[in-house]
Structure 1
């Protein structure tokens, strides 16, 4: 398994703010060859509890708890490494939709955000506000793309 950044978790110890955990993330999973996902943190309700953590299994497509959130680290390999080929006039093979509002930032590499109508190239520092729409990610480069995402349970009206 590839190494991903460490996770530092704060809390209260002896009545004072403290670092409770400082470790390399342990729950990283390769769902497809080279597609590394780690659900770093989640909340189970709103308002969020600050007292404890409920570990969740990593899934290729998120299963955000009702009224909850996910904080997700994703390393997306090149399409060629995944064996993905998008056919002209057909939906991208990884097209999907979730009932979440997602705040995504590209940390490194590049990635295409593909919608049912149109696409755009994302590069480091770009931010995406993904509002529960059908979408796919396509890495047409020869290097992985790393993104961080906060997924918030939402409802389509």
Structure 2
């Protein structure tokens, strides 16, 4: 099974205690590299207020959300043995790649390259990932690698990491929650 088509189905409240489907919409993927596809399905850019009812298709201000915002995305990682940030961008995918880079720099949303190699990065988000199919490696900055498989749930609270595609490829559903990062030296924790 390979997920190629993604739809967003949004239920809204038109009046108190009355709901309706405000969107049943196919989501067009954008391409990163030769085979990595992302679907930006839904989200918000500030804390959401209820009841919510909007028939407008969501257009994000940035790739990653600001504090109080969220993104719901699907990623199809390629069938390859490469770090995802090292995948070549082919000419036919350059426009999608440039659009994401522009979105990263459009607002002050941090995606910082850090760690022992160029694919290591962190974002100012809490990332929730749900592996639907295949396998993908997740690497910590100390070199430890965990292979995520179908059924695994991934949680990252803004930590440094890198993704490495495996021969099987993988589809991961993500929810990115925008967060503020402390810049105070010392112990890390809540």
TM-score by length of 2: 0.67
Q: Which has the higher helix share?
A: 2
Q: Alpha-carbon deviation of 1:31?
A: 1.7
Q: Alpha-carbon deviation of 1:67?
A: 1.7
Equivalent in the alignment of 1:55: 59
**In 2, Cα distance between equivalents of 1:145 and 1:94:** 18
**In 2, Cα distance between equivalents of 1:92 and 1:107:** 28
The worse-fitting range, judged by mean Cα deviation, of 96-105 and 8-17 is: 8-17
Equivalent in the alignment of 1:107: 132
Q: Alpha-carbon deviation of 1:22?
A: 1.6
Q: Is contact 2:120–2:161 with CA below 8 Å preserved after alignment?
A: yes
Whether 2:81 is the aligned partner of 1:77: answer no
- CA offsets per residue over residues 12-34 of structure 1, 9 Å max, x none? 357731122223213x1002111
Q: Alpha-carbon deviation of 1:132?
A: 0.5
Map residues 36-47 of structure 1 onto 2, 5 A cutoff: 36-47=37-48
TM-score by length of 1: 0.79
Q: Alpha-carbon deviation of 1:72?
A: 1.1
Map residues 58-137 of structure 1 onto 2, 5 A cutoff: 62-80=63-81, 84=86, 91-117=116-142, 118-137=144-163
Gaps of 5+ in 2: 88-114, 183-190
Q: Alpha-carbon deviation of 1:105?
A: 0.9
**In 2, Cα distance between equivalents of 1:31 and 1:101:** 22
Gaps of 5+ in 1: none
CA RMSD of aligned residues (A): 2.7
- CA offsets per residue over residues 111-140 of structure 1, 9 Å max, x none? 111111111111011111111011111112
